[in-house]
C-alpha cells in the first residue's frame, strides 16, 4: 500500500482538480506515450540497459518513465524485468547503486532508488533503505562538523572525484530521500536522517536573492533576482553585467526549476519567499523555445524539470507579466508531441550537451513529462 501511495505521489499528487477531463487530448497523449515506450523497448540492449552499462542512471530513468505510463499493463513485461535485473547487479555493499570506478555514484544511486520506488515492489525496500543511508552520508559538511561555515555545506555532489556539491545532484538526492521517507519513518534503528535545514541553506546559497543570500556574487538585478545557479560561485550560463555595473552570475531555466523542486522536496510551502522568488523569475522568463539563458543546451531537461516543479506545487495556469494566461500543460504537450520522431523517440537536434544526443535519455524525460501532463488533463 505504501508503495502504491508512492506511485500516486510521484505521478498524481498536487494536480489540480479540473472540472472536466479532456478525453480527446488524453488519447493523443497516450498514443505519444505508447510510441515512446515502443521505441525504448526496441532500443534496449540485450543485457537490459540503455545508452551505457557503466551508468545505470539512464536505465533507471527509463524505468521511471515506464512506471508513470497512465495505461501501464497489469503484468510487468519481460523487457522491464530485465532492466530491473540489470540495476540489481549495480548494487554495492556500501548501499550505492552504480559501477565502481565509473564515477557519478550519487547521481546513479538517486535515480536507481527512484526506479525501485516507483516499481511498487516491496522486495526492493531493503536496497532503497541502504541506498538512502549512502546518500545521507554524501551531504557536504566542510570546515567545522555540524556548522554551516562553507557555501557548499548541506548540498550533495556527483561523488568521488567531484569534490563539491551542486544543485542538480542535490535535487536528485532530495527527491529520492523525500519519496523514500515512508520506509524509515518508524524505524529507530535507521541512522540519522539528512540535515534538511542544511540542505535548504545550500539551495538558498545558490539563489540570486539578496534578502536571503549574502554572498558577494549575488545580484538583485531584475534579470537575475530569484533565479538559481549551479553551485555557489558557478553558473553554467556564465556572467552578465547588472544594472549597477557589477558582474553577476546569470540565473538560468533548468537549474531554477531544479531549485524550485528542491524546495518542494524540503517541504517549503509555495508561500515561502524563496519559492515565490524563483517562481516569479521562471514566469518572467517563461518560454518553450529555449532553456532560458542556456539556449538549446539542456532543453529537454528543462521541459522535464518544469513539468515536475509546476506539478508538485499545483500550478494550473501561468499568468505572464503581460497579463496573458498560459495553459503550460497543453502548450508543452503539443511542443513535445510535435518534436517526436517517426520511430517514437525524442532527441535534442540542436545541442548534445548533457547527453541530450542520447535518444533513451531524452525520450525518458519526455515520457515522464507527458505522463504527468496526461494526469492533469
Q: What is the pLDDT of residues 48-99, one digit of tens each?
A: 999 999 999 999 999 999 999 999 999 999 999 999 999 999 999 999 999 9
- Are 253 and 291 contacting, i.e. CB atoms less than 8 angstroms apart? yes
Torsion angles phi and psi, residue 248, rounded to 5 = -110, 150
pLDDT at position 204 over 50: yes
* Beta bridge partners of residue 324, listed in sequence order: none
Helix (H) or strand (E) holding 38: helix 23-43
User: The C-alpha cell of 8 is what?
Assistant: 500516486
> What's residue 8's pLDDT?
44
Report percent pLDDT > 90 for the chain. 83
Which residue has better confidence, 102 or 168? 168
pLDDT at residue 162 tops 90: no
CA 276 to chain centre: 19
Measured CA to CA, the distance from residue 240 to residue 249 in angstroms comes to: 6
Query: What would the mean pLDDT of 11-19 be, rounded to a whole number?
Result: 44
Q: 286, 295, 369: which is closest to 333 by C-alpha?
A: 369
pLDDT at 187 > cutoff 70: no
> What is the helix (H) or strand (E) element at residue 31, kind and residue range?
helix 23-43
Query: What pLDDT is stored for residue 203 in this prediction?
Result: 98
In this predicted structure, what is the pLDDT of residue 82?
A: 98
The arithmetic mean of pLDDT across residues 128-151, rounded, is: 92
pLDDT band at 18 (very low <50, low <70, confident <90, very high): very low
Would you state the cell numbers that stand for residue 235, as one nine-digit string? 553558473
> Which range among 17-21, 166-170, 248-252 shows the weakest confidence by mean pLDDT?
17-21
C-alpha cell at 40: 525504448
How many Cβ atoms sit within 10 Å of the Cβ of residue 377? 19
Q: Is the pLDDT of residue 153 over 50?
A: yes
Integer angstrom CA distances of residue 357 from 19, 42, 47, 196, 263: 39, 18, 22, 35, 29
The answer on pLDDT for 113 being more than 90 is yes
Look at residue 341 in the predicted model and tell me its pLDDT.
Answer: 98
Distance CA 136, CA 6 (A): 20
Please give the pLDDT value at position 312. Answer: 96
Residue 215: is it exposed, middle or buried by C-beta count within 10 angstroms (0-12/13-18/19+)?
middle
Q: Please tell me the class of the 2-376 domain.
A: mainly alpha
330-348 per-position pLDDT tens digit? 999 999 999 999 999 999 9
Which of the two residues, 368 and 8, has the higher pLDDT score? 368
Quickly state the pLDDT bin for 10 (edges 50, 70, 90).
low
- Please write the tens of the pLDDT for every residue from 261-276: 999 999 999 999 999 9
Whole-number CA gyration radius for the chain: 20
As a whole-number percent, the residues of the chain with pLDDT over 70 amount to: 92
- pTM reported for the whole predicted model: 0.94
- What is the chain's mean pLDDT, rounded? 92
CA dist 77 and 358 (Å) reads 24
Is the alpha carbon torsion for 347, 74, 113, 186 positive or negative? positive
At residue 44, what are phi and psi to the nearest 5 degrees?
A: -70, 140
Distance CA(375)–CA(16), nearest Å, equals: 10
For residues 293-311, one letter each, b for 16 or more C-beta atoms within 10 angstroms of the residue's C-beta and e for the rest, the string is bbebbbbbbbbbbbbbbbb
State the pLDDT confidence band at 1, using cuts at 50, 70 and 90.
very low
Amino acid at each position: 500500500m505504501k508503495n502504491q501511495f508512492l506511485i500516486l505521489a510521484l505521478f498524481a499528487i498536487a494536480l489540480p482538480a479540473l472540472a472536466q477531463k479532456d478525453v480527446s487530448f488524453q488519447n493523443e497523449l497516450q498514443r505519444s506515450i505508447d510510441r515512446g515506450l515502443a521505441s525504448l523497448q526496441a532500443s534496449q540492449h540485450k543485457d537490459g540497459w540503455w545508452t551505457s552499462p557503466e551508468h545505470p542512471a539512464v536505465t533507471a530513468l527509463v524505468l521511471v518513465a515506464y512506471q508513470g505510463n497512465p495505461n501501464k499493463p497489469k503484468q510487468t513485461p519481460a523487457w522491464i524485468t530485465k532492466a530491473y535485473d540489470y540495476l540489481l547487479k549495480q548494487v554495492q555493499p556500501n548501499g550505492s547503486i552504480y559501477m565502481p570506478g565509473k564515477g557519478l555514484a550519487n547521481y546513479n544511486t538517486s535515480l536507481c532508488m527512484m526506479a525501485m520506488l516507483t516499481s511498487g515492489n516491496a522486495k526492493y525496500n531493503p536496497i532503497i533503505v541502504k541506498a538512502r543511508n549512502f546518500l545521507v552520508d554524501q551531504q557536504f559538511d566542510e570546515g567545522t562538523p555540524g556548522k554551516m561555515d562553507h557555501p557548499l555545506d548541506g548540498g550533495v555532489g556527483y561523488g568521488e572525484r567531484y569534490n563539491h556539491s551542486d544543485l542538480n545532484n542535490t535535487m536528485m538526492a532530495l527527491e529520492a530521500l523525500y519519496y523514500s521517507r515512508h520506509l524509515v519513518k518508524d524505524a529507530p534503528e535507521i541512522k540519522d536522517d539528512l540535515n534538511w535545514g542544511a540542505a535548504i541553506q545550500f539551495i538558498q546559497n545558490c539563489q540570486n536573492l539578496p534578502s536571503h543570500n549574502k554572498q558577494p556574487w549575488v545580484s538583485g538585478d531584475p534579470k537575475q533576482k530569484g533565479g538559481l545557479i549551479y553551485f555557489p560561485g558557478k553558473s553554467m550560463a556564465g556572467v552578465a553585467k547588472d544594472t549597477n555595473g557589477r558582474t553577476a552570475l546569470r540565473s538560468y531555466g533548468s537549474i531554477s526549476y531544479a531549485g524550485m523542486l528542491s524546495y518542494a522536496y524540503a517541504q517549503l510551502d509555495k508561500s515561502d519567499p524563496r519559492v515565490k522568488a524563483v517562481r516569479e523569475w521562471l514566469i518572467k522568463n517563461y518560454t518553450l523555445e529555449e532553456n532560458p539563458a542556456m539556449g538549446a543546451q539542456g532543453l529537454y531537461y528543462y521541459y522535464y524539470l518544469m513539468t515536475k516543479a509546476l506539478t508538485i506545487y499545483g500550478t494550473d495556469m501561468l499568468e505572464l507579466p503581460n497579463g496573458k494566461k498560459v495553459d503550460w500543460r497543453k502548450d508543452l504537450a503539443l511542443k513535445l508531441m510535435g518534436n517526436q520522431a517517426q520511430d517514437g523517440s525524442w532527441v535534442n537536434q540542436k545541442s548534445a550537451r548533457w547527453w541530450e544526443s542520447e535518444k533513451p535519455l531524452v525520450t525518458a524525460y519526455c515520457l515522464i513529462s507527458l505522463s504527468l501532463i496526461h494526469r492533469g488533463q
